[in-house]
Structure 1
Amino acid sequence: MPIIVNLDVMLAKRKMSVTELSEKVGITLANVSNLKTGKAKAIRFSTLEAICKALECQPGDILEYR
């Protein structure tokens, strides 16, 4: 998979738990875990926007193309 999800890196940098992020963004813990592990096949722009807002980052900080 050439798209790498660095959500765990951003969570560590912001000292935020997966549970805290799921509550702030309004998505289930399972969906955050799927994103974090790279199992998700898609992400809505609204979800990506909410994650970026909660983590105070840019989409490029979370998603990487290799």
Structure 2
Amino acid sequence: MAIVINLDVILAKRKMRLSELSERVGVTLANLSVLKTGKAKAVRFSTLEKLCEVLECQPGDILEYVEDKTRDSSA
């Protein structure tokens, strides 16, 4: 996976539960869980904006690009 979601790390630093974040952001717990586990295929900018606002962070704190070394670069 090339994009890593660091939502669990930020939540731990803020001592916040996913359920509290869900209420404050206005996104269902199920959808935040999908995002947190890295199973989301997309994130709306409005959702990312609200997450950053509530968590007092930057988008780069939540989303991180990690090079996938298992991919063949000649493909």
How would you bin the TM-score normalised by the shorter chain?
over 0.9
Q: How does 1:1-66 map to 2 (within 5 A)?
A: 1-66=1-66
Distance 1:13 1:53 in 2: 15
Greater gyration radius: 2
The letter of the residue matching 2:59 is P
4+ long deviations beyond 6 Å: none
Following superposition, the deviation at residue 27 of structure 1 comes to 0.6
TM-score normalised over the length of structure 2: 0.87
- Percent of aligned pairs with the same residue? 74
Unaligned runs of 5+ in 1: none
Higher helix residue share: 1
Aligned-residue RMSD, C-alpha: 0.4
Distance 1:14 1:53 in 2: 13
